[in-house]
Structure 1
Amino acid sequence: MMTPLLLLPLLLLLLYLISYSGSSSISVSGLKGGNVTLSCGSEDREIVEISLYSLSKHIPVCEERNCSGRVCKEGSCDVIIKDLTYSDAGKYFLHVYYTNDQREVERLMLEYKLHIHDEISVKKAEDLKLDVLLTNADKVERNSGSGWIVLWRRGHGVSSDGLSVSEQTLIIHEFTDTDTGSYRVLDSNNEALITVTVTDWKENLSDTEEDKTDDSEHQHYWMLPVGILVLMALMVRTDFLIFRRRHRDNLRGD
């Protein structure tokens, strides 16, 4: 059972969300596996404390100089989230407590919308698996070229027989060229949480270039001895012609 001390921050957050509803939020985006910064824009203030929340919980922020955790403070009140995953997408609320000119502690409240981007490649005829059915996901759409079509919706399931769901994974069976493109995950407010660009898997260009380099090196290795043999054959032929000419001159001299 949650103790009153643990319950208090969540109650304060709930009151904050009610009073803060309808206010503008700061849109931020990051690549899956990368980092993103929630900038507080208050570097010139004397910061007393910062607190970070998502819609469901309080998020501890490491404030040490060399943090090893995923969520760390940078500067006076910026927050960095490292090694982004799909589940990091959504809303965040940063409370910044600072001292004003009258030496009184005031609170600055900031709201962020974090959008995660990703790129993946899939081989034809294989299954495309998107682990994007988060607790705050309402629907998944694909850009068909003529508009966005709904593939999955909470409470309704998938939209066709070529799709299925396994826990938090949306599966597109037997991937084809028509399945390439952009997929996006939206919340109940129709705001984007995740966008995934899916392409047809092809041989890595660097591997191809490496193969070409290897081929050219092999070509160089076998061309070198062939060139030496040709040169030796020319030298032998030249020596033979000189010898025959001298022999013929000697016969004439006799």
Structure 2
Amino acid sequence: MMTLLLLLCFISYSGSSTKPVSGIKGGIVTLSCESEDREIVDFSLISRSKHIPVCEKKNCSGRVCKEGSCDVIIKDLIYSDAGKYFLYVYYNNDQREVERQIRKYHLHIHDEISVKKGEDLKLDVVLINADKVERNSRSGWTEVWRRGHGVSSDRLIISDQTLIIHDFTVTDTGTYRVLDSNNEALITVTVTESVLDSKGNLNDTEKDKTDDTEHRNHWMLLVLLVSAAVVIYRRRYRDYLKEKH
């Protein structure tokens, strides 16, 4: 009966718009509740119909923490954090009635990775809320994988939640994006070819390029020094001739 009375006293308010929020993998984002001037009674965070525990201690060691009256901080972002969030904020209005405010967010994760030529490109992006993966090419966005349709090439496989591209080549570089069923971006990954070996050193190709560049720079410096010396000699010679005459 008490629960029923509480439900009856709730005056619900839901914002119609969804606030886009972006973060870098491993970084931090803030879901702002924008209710600092209200007397907050309670709040809860929901994602994919699941309650997300929020640490409310001052020195919180968890990834999801409260800041201020009801802002939520998500730290050490991972791919699976991407998607929609609903923040339910309960507060007392001027008539001391409990109102409910719903804030909606869409979290978009960005990342950058480098892969060596010939190795496998592994993207842990086939999330439960992912509908398709696309790659940006010269002809625009091309589909790499779609739920219910599979992958677009024999070089691609799906293992658990990982999209794997075998034998990585320079043509596989570019921007990959993961979209949900509403065509909203969940994850964007920029993939480049790694120029470092397993020890963190430049590979042979990049070494040759670097050596050639340094060689050209040395010759250019030598030419500049010789040119400067010639100019100085000519000026001094002209000054000598003027003084002589």
Q: For this structure pair, what is the TM-score category when the shorter chain's length is used for normalisation?
A: 0.7 to 0.9
1:81-96 alignment to 2 at 5 Å?
Answer: 81-96=74-89
Letter of the structure 1 residue corresponding to residue 156 of structure 2 = L
Map of 1:155 onto structure 2: 148
Q: TM-score, normalised by structure 2?
A: 0.73
Instruction: Note the residue ranges of structure 1 that are not aligned, 5 or more in a row.
Output: 6-15, 209-254
Query: Residue 55 of structure 1 is aligned with which of 13, 32, 48?
Result: 48
Q: TM-score, normalised by structure 1?
A: 0.71
Cα deviations by residue, 1:81-124 (Å, 9 ceiling, x for unpaired)? 11111111110000111122222221110110000111000001
Check if 1:164 corresponds to 2:157: yes
Please give the root-mean-square deviation of Cα atoms over the aligned residues, in Å.
Answer: 2.1
Map of 2:139 onto structure 1: 146
Check if 1:107 corresponds to 2:90: no
Identity of aligned residues (%): 76
Instruction: Tell me the distance in 1 between the aligned counterparts of 2:149 and 2:196.
Output: 38
Instruction: Tell me the distance in 1 between the aligned counterparts of 2:196 and 2:128.
Output: 36
Map of 2:189 onto structure 1: 196
Task: Measure how far apart 1:125 and its partner are.
Answer: 0.9
Q: Which runs of 4+ in 1 moved over 6 A?
A: none
Instruction: Tell me the distance in 2 between the aligned counterparts of 1:74 and 1:145.
Output: 44
Instruction: Tell me the distance in 2 between the aligned counterparts of 1:183 and 1:25.
Output: 24
Cα deviations by residue, 1:219-240 (Å, 9 ceiling, x for unpaired)? xxxxxxxxxxxxxxxxxxxxxx
Query: Residue 66 of structure 1 is aligned with which of 54, 59, 84?
Result: 59
Instruction: Tell me the distance in 2 between the aligned counterparts of 1:139 and 1:183.
Output: 10
Query: Residue 34 of structure 1 is aligned with which of 12, 27, 31?
Result: 27
Task: Measure how far apart 1:78 and its partner are.
Answer: 0.3
Map of 2:167 onto structure 1: 174
Cα deviations by residue, 1:205-224 (Å, 9 ceiling, x for unpaired)? x977xxxxxxxxxxxxxxxx
Number of aligned residue pairs: 190
Instruction: Tell me the distance in 2 between the aligned counterparts of 1:134 and 1:118.
Output: 15
Instruction: Tell me the distance in 1 between the aligned counterparts of 2:94 and 2:56.
Output: 25
Check if 1:131 corresponds to 2:124: yes
Instruction: Tell me the distance in 2 between the aligned counterparts of 1:47 and 1:154.
Output: 41
